[in-house]
Structure 1
């Protein structure tokens, strides 16, 4: 798990390099996912099952705003990786400076109206009935910390683009561990309830930003900024926007998915169904960590070697990333299929929730072994700077297939139709992405 210099992205053996990049990313995502899961467990047992639903309502709003940072980060990091591959360090520096300014401007501009219109936004995302008040408390406090999170997510992708995956992993671990510690102190010991859960999250975001800032100000980073690097450049901003929009669109669709799911499930089964979905969604985030880790490790490798015109290495990185992620996804699939009831009981002692969750969980994870093909395929086009196919393929899974299906299938199958929409959309999007990725490899890289 040693850190590497950026030029080694073009020389190290692909398998070894992917492990170096993906393992720290996977560990970081694992810890972050564990934080979300354990945080949900704490809230469920120490506050109540309604609190789980309340947090699930708030997440898509706060994560969408924070995802601006990730979008700007990934868009800019693609430029940085390719620029370092071409030996153009000045462009890499200017891109990073522009990323910082864009992240600050956009997130603050969204947080302010987000706070002003909180009472309208929360019910729109499913925070109705008994869910509204705890959701309002959590939402208001967490939104103050969202700009910190956005800067962390942006900085993390840049650290990875430099070939420093171990530091990127640490940046993900710090807020996760601190959030759990603060959860225990604020909720269990001090009894602050939803206020405590929210402040624990916000403070953990701030601690992460302090670490990321230290990395770039210390000798560990190759990107030493000067005042001139912060001047916004129209071509760089346009390129960051085009590539970053792919990530932003993905998160926007995720947020819309939460909105649609919370409202449809509330209408079909009330607070119970929303709580079941909250648990399933947490497990989906947690169980996807190795696939997402491989995807994150793959991005700088593909981008750097594409920029250096080493297309055989790009092809090998695609094949290796898919092979590794399919393998780990299959292990996840087997665990979920065999122990869904036991998993549900970890989150809550509510017998009705435990009874209803396993069937939903099995359907949601039904096609998880193949979804890595879709994720790697979409990530490839983003890594090499092809914004349009990256955007379209990113949207296939949830935008083009899942959201329409979740409106159609419940008409015939009721609540079961909601859960069926997951594997059907996964299969369809994987077929589409696989076709275009194979075509790209045959016609462009070979």
Structure 2
């Protein structure tokens, strides 16, 4: 990290990290493509009501991965390699300790979560097909999302990308085999995802026992450091709530579309989720690329590099989002046809969703980078405010808008709440960046 300019370092991390996030997103997007093309709107609705449950698992994996990675990078910036290895080993053990607890809890409550979203009949049956497999394979879902963060914080972003590409290729091949050829429906989609996630988890953890790892681990390093857990969880908590927020919002939208519309609208909302994932994963990749470098420079007390990293990440994320929205509005039918080209009503509902639901989508990138900035400098309360605020501010919009305008109100509640929260967060982060520029390290972290 010492030899290259901060911009070179950022893009060295950003390009493979964005690629890795997009590849990781293929786990869900490829499922959606096969399900939409071979099972239609019912299949899409089924997987969409299952998604809030799966998000809980992914959110916990993200929390441990981000928290462990950021803490390890801060320790490396402080030239404390032993402390970095302690944080890494403790984070890995925490992942495995969480797995059975999460599986048992979700097994108990998954059924209720599906029913609360208005799922009935065929939609309910398909959702439970998916969940029955992925809850059992929860340890690999946790590991597959956490391991890439750990690899990037070990200064190995290319290795993280390579593993995720491998997992995506396995997932695509198995989706075709299980869904298109064998007709296993959502059971097949879940099996394909679980097997791919297992490969990523096992190979990723194995990497840290090789000579290529800067934080190389041995069995002697696996002594659980309980005092590190609060720090790991507090740093990563905003990431968990980011997934929890997404899970909660998907569940509420599913329930509202089922109440004010139909199963077809739930399927249309599912397609929008897959389309949005392309941009959201790019924004998340930019934020994740910024995090280890920002944490390192925070530990090394280099405020100028911190400002540069924040500026380049924010500009890339917001401008990229604006360009993505423009392309979507120019070619909406082409985008939707990737997921379904045979159900006119489903297609029209989805295009309407693109027009109404996604016009402020670029602000998601702004909020993701803002939360990652605060996480990277261990300012967990403000990171939590950004992610929790995103959820809390939507609730009144989702309560009022559908009552006024029905389905149209459901579509526009999210973008309007996004604008409102971004104005508040923009003021807060502008003040903090000004403090950093004026007073340096101490004031910025006070």
Return the TM-score normalized by structure 1. Answer: 0.94
Task: Give 3-state SS (helix, strand or coil) of 2:214's partner.
Answer: coil
Once the two structures are superposed, residues 46-96 of structure 1 have per-residue CA deviations (whole angstroms, 9 ceiling, x without a partner) of 223211111111122122123212101101111111110110111111111
Structure 2: distance between partners of 1:401 and 1:174: 39
Q: Paired residue for 1:202?
A: 194
Runs of 4+ in 1 over 6 A off after TM superposition: none
Which of 384, 387, 392 is matched with 1:391 structurally?
A: 384
Structure 1: distance between partners of 2:414 and 2:111: 30
Structure 2: distance between partners of 1:363 and 1:379: 28
Q: 2:55 matched to 1:78? A: no
Q: Paired residue for 2:12?
A: 20
Which of 371, 394, 398 is matched with 1:378 structurally?
A: 371
Say whether the 8 Å CA contact 1:373–1:433 is kept in structure 2. no
Q: Paired residue for 1:67?
A: 59
Q: Paired residue for 1:440?
A: 432
Instruction: Give structure 1 stretches of 5+ with no counterpart.
Output: 1-7
Structure 2: distance between partners of 1:445 and 1:326: 22
Residue 445 of structure 1, CA deviation: 4.6
Which of 353, 359, 362 is matched with 1:369 structurally?
A: 362
Structure 1: distance between partners of 2:8 and 2:424: 30
Residue 393 of structure 1, CA deviation: 1.4
Residue 228 of structure 1, CA deviation: 4.7
Say whether the 8 Å CA contact 1:72–1:103 is kept in structure 2. yes
Structure 2: distance between partners of 1:112 and 1:371: 33
Say whether the 8 Å CA contact 1:344–1:357 is kept in structure 2. yes
Structure 2: distance between partners of 1:379 and 1:219: 30
Structure 2: distance between partners of 1:298 and 1:146: 28
Q: Paired residue for 1:41?
A: 33
Say whether the 8 Å CA contact 2:55–2:244 is kept in structure 1. no
Which of 314, 328, 333 is matched with 1:322 structurally?
A: 314
Which of 264, 267, 287 is matched with 2:279 structurally?
A: 287
Structure 2: distance between partners of 1:237 and 1:35: 29
Q: 2:267 matched to 1:267? A: no
Q: Paired residue for 2:304?
A: 312
Which of 351, 357, 360 is matched with 1:358 structurally?
A: 351
Structure 2: distance between partners of 1:150 and 1:125: 24
Q: Paired residue for 1:3?
A: none
Task: Give 3-state SS (helix, strand or coil) of 2:208's partner.
Answer: helix
Say whether the 8 Å CA contact 1:34–1:286 is kept in structure 2. no
Return the TM-score normalized by structure 2. Answer: 0.94
Alignment of 1:96-115 (within 5 A): 96-115=88-107
Distance 1:275 1:36, change over 3 A: same
Residue 138 of structure 1, CA deviation: 1.2
How many residues are matched?
437
Which of 14, 31, 46 is matched with 1:54 structurally?
A: 46
Which of 168, 184, 196 is matched with 1:192 structurally?
A: 184
Say whether the 8 Å CA contact 1:302–1:384 is kept in structure 2. yes
Say whether the 8 Å CA contact 2:336–2:347 is kept in structure 1. yes
Q: Paired residue for 1:129?
A: 121
Q: Paired residue for 1:5?
A: none
Say whether the 8 Å CA contact 2:47–2:186 is kept in structure 1. no
Say whether the 8 Å CA contact 2:171–2:192 is kept in structure 1. yes
Instruction: Give structure 2 stretches of 5+ with no counterpart.
Output: 439-446
Structure 2: distance between partners of 1:30 and 1:412: 37
Task: Give 3-state SS (helix, strand or coil) of 2:171's partner.
Answer: helix
Residue 422 of structure 1, CA deviation: 2.0
Say whether the 8 Å CA contact 1:378–1:433 is kept in structure 2. no
Structure 1: distance between partners of 2:367 and 2:187: 39
Alignment of 1:323-342 (within 5 A): 323-342=315-334
Q: 2:335 matched to 1:343? A: yes
